[in-house]
A = this chain, B = another copy of it.
């Protein structure tokens, strides 16, 4: 039996996608083998990757001036790879610190070059996104890096930041959950394991004009140009194959506006439930609340542990908050349906009635 899956990542995928994967085992279409067993230069995989790129561009409304790369290494590799390519000596990159993952990106960038902390909500325990008006940006910055959604702290940007420098965004946890105005961006990266597919592939979108600014002398494997020019080495074939199916599922469910509407509806249901009584307390400032990770506390840690335990027994999985902050976290990525959120709200009502 499949549970209601609120895992923060790797996370729920559409059940129809999982079933398609099953149906295409042990043989993928005309390949005579599973998709795990065919060359990354085979016509079958070439078609899969090309379809994934086409769907991605279509969903985001972008053209061939955007390179769509499927890389290894996760966001943690991007933390280093971005400044290695785009933060030359003498230049400054602006970073906004809104949580643990932002802080890691900043740490790696500082090992490469000059970083200006444009804004931070660290002093406020990362419970909000600093207002754009309070940002201290650098004139002529190489780029401005931000984390569009903060999985641990349950906060999310609700508008694309407006700055002069090209935006670089770690969108790992809300990518394709809503439309993006790509005009201000130079590069967006997202580990697949939240809204896109299985762990092991990182989607990187890089605009041609931004790519042209990369530094010389970057090691081959870490140079974005290497991957923009050709299929340099073996990609994570299976993960890209699943990503292509997830993109098709997004298309079939209203595209990014469809995802945004669904996610708003789920968020409204859950946050309204949180706000209805004092038993549950949302941890993020209301204007910064994430539609991907809904974080909240109960009156005591004992009650929180009991909540997680009982929820699991009731078929609601993955609700324990990140170990660094505690509490409860319900991750409601694209593939988590209204049925799951409704089941969670019903459980919350019941739990409060019994223990509140």
| Residues of chain A whose beta carbon lies under 8 Å from any beta carbon of chain B | 1-3, 5, 7-13, 15, 18-19, 21-22, 25-27, 32-34, 36-40, 42, 72-77, 79-80, 107-108, 111, 191, 193, 197-201, 219-222, 232-239, 242, 315, 317-318
Contact = CB atoms under 8 A, between A and B. Distances in A.
Contact of A237 (B19, B40, B198): B198
Tell which of A15, A18, A40, A199 has the most Cβ of chain B within 10 Å.
A199
B12 A18 contact: no
B26 A317 contact: no
Tell which of A2, A25, A34, A73 has the most Cβ of chain B within 10 Å.
A34
13 contacts: A2-B33, A5-B32, A5-B37, A7-B33, A22-B22, A72-B77, A72-B200, A73-B221, A74-B234, A76-B220, A80-B219, A111-B220, A200-B239
A130 B34 CA distance: 37
Contacts of A219: 80, 108, 111
Contact of A10 (B10, B15, B36): B36
Contacts of A233: 74-76
A221 B33 contact: no
Given A7-B33, A39-B9, A40-B10, A236 B200 contact: yes
Nearest to A220: B108
A245 to B, nearest CB: 11
B36 A198 contact: yes
Contacts of A199: 36, 40, 234-238
Contact of A80 (B9, B38, B221): B221
A3 B25 contact: no
A-B pairs with lowest CB-CB distance, top 10: A200-B236, A3-B32, A36-B198, A22-B25, A18-B26, A76-B233, A72-B72, A200-B200, A72-B73, A199-B234
